[in-house]
Structure 1
């Protein structure tokens, strides 16, 4: 590879785009390339092909929907280009290894629905459980969103909770007469974080009445908490009037997920939702999510966020970090008067 600059040591590169050279047959066939995330330079050395070139070792992630996804190598390619997010080329290389791969097996091959009371579509799949013809396999296909059932019997969809695959079997459940346990060979998909069930248990009897119950969770489960809060958000509730003063408890804003949980509760009370990404926050600030701008946000213990929400690479969200200043710019653009305390 001939890089724009060659620097020794472990050097962060961030997110880059891998593509074919413009005159390459793969580019003419429409191959758009692959995005590589959180790249770091591990080492470099003179190439055996030519002392004027370098072989460079990079560490990072491929941008795929699921870790089970395969990444196909385009046929007949003669060279690759690495570009930064602004399309500025960083270097070209004749070949590379480690990016293109076959799909892997799902981390959890089977899902069992325990104590299931099936509706007609699932009964159709159960009836075809032993059919192996193409038509039978189509009947055995299951695809559904998972909802959490609360103590009052209401169901709330679980954000990103999907079960899809081929039904394998069903047996009577030990939980109760008339219920069955259904096993499904699932499609490749990331499982939900293990702590999700514990969060659903917190919400089982209804929306929490105590603030900061999310504070002891790590970033993954804070994001799950915000997703559960989204599922429980009542869109029919009117916005608070313009000019309202909201108070954000910033003691636990040690990451961007903590901010989203905290501002959700500042605007909509314990268990409240007001975005779980910059795009979602922007939508919420446009109205119909609990607060109509302009309003005032008193951010208590703001030095916690000033210390943690800093410039850098966010290895959890695989992109540039969302800083406190970024949040303040967005809030200000929506006519939110932020008082940092």
Structure 2
């Protein structure tokens, strides 16, 4: 029995498919992380292990904007020094080149500490494992390139790995630069190949998100709150898939005046807020914004909602307790719970707290 084709490698410029397959090796792994030494570290709270999904470094020099360290982890203090070592993903919002001045650090809710001098640590060079598409049914265009075999022909340039769930519905995609490093006939079936792409040109999905992705591979959840037992790190991964899947679907807006009910029992962090709102409006696994700006966009229509409407927010005290003390990237305090209510009201959603 032939397995369902989950992965399609698509050329992004013109949209033609290079091939379709059922398995990918190397999708999950450890993305390259930036490493930073915060010299003269003065803690305001204990910083150990996983620090947060979004950690901001705020330079004392106001000429520079804060920068973001995503999925930040603490490696602890460097032995024999007063330095704290942080790692995280900072590919698109890194520090100014050569910046070494003092910074303060917060996780979006509380200040973690400050340091007198900041320095980037260059990690040892490590080779990335390849991305292997196993049992790929190649297009004629791909086979022509493989048979030609020149370096130019094997550089497939920018591509997207489109991913579907077991029901055949679009789930998400991953952009990459597709450069073929090897290929061979596949043991998965005749006329199929195993295509190996240069892993240096692909950012893997973090390993901690594997269980979340595997749950979504089976299809969207049947009941609301399937994410409730996850920690913030994995809730963020769940929200990423909800958003990416939701933005690929065409929703029919309900008529004006619809009444929604929001289960607020599990809104103990920011991703929980948007997951609960999404399910209140669009059912289990539903999307209705992943930040305040996106929530405002969704309220304008085409995401299942038509203004005006009403929302009964059960157990609102939980969100109020956990979200009222929030920090902007620059460290300015604000109340995320109150801001959410304001955005909903401005978008024509009358909210009753219960």
Calculate the TM-score normalised by the size of structure 1.
0.66
Report deviation, 1:248: 0.8
CA distance, structure 2, for counterparts of residue 197 and residue 142 of structure 1 = 27
Partners of 2:147 and 2:332 lie apart in 1 by 47
3-state secondary structure, aligned to 1:238:
coil
Measured in 2, the distance between the counterparts of 1:96 and 1:303 equals 40
- Identify if the C-alpha distance between structure 1 residues 303 and 105 changes in structure 2 by more than 3 Å, giving closer, same or farther: farther
1:127 partnered with 2:147:
yes
- Asked if 1:140 corresponds to 2:182, the answer is no
Is contact 1:66–1:188 with CA below 8 Å preserved after alignment? no
Q: Deviations over 1:255-284 (max 9, x none)?
A: 111111111110011111111122211211
The match for 2:194 is 181
RMSD in angstroms over aligned alpha carbons?
A: 4.3
2:347 to 334, 337, 340: 334
Structure 1: runs of 5+ lacking an equivalent: 1-6, 22-32, 44-55, 85-94
CA shift, 1:137, in A, is: 4.3
**Cα contact 2:262–2:280 (8 A) shared by 1:** yes
**Of 197, 214, 229, the match for 1:216:** 229
SS of equivalent to 1:171: strand
* Alignment check: 8 A CA contact 1:250 1:299 kept: yes
Matched position secondary structure for 1:254 = coil
Q: Deviations over 1:101-134 (max 9, x none)?
A: 65865784421112222234543553355x4xxx
- Equivalent residue pairs, number: 286
Moved more, 213-222 or 325-334: 213-222
Give the drift of 1:249.
1.0
**Greater Rg by CA:** 1
Asked if 1:98 is matched to 2:124, the reply is: no
1:10 is matched with 43
- 2:11 aligned residue: none
Residue matched to 1:164: 177
Distance 1:210 1:167, change over 3 A: same
Q: Give the secondary-structure state (helix, strand or coil) at the position aligned to 1:113.
A: strand
Tell me the equivalent position of 1:283. 297
Alpha-carbon distance change, 263 to 246 in structure 1, aligned in 2, over 3 angstroms: same
2:91 aligned partner: 65
Task: Decide which of 260, 265, 275 is 1:251's aligned counterpart.
Answer: 265
| Structure 2 partner of 1:240 | 254
> 2:157–2:178: 8 Å Cα contact kept in structure 1?
yes
Mapped to 1, the partners of 2:302 and 2:277 lie a distance apart of 15
Q: What residue is the counterpart of 2:18 in the other structure?
A: none
Residues of 2 paired with 1:230 and 1:176: CA distance?
35
Equivalence map 1:43-62=2 (5 Å): none
TM-score for the superposition, normalised by structure 2:
0.64
Greater strand share, 1 or 2?
A: 2
1:179 to partner: Cα distance: 2.0
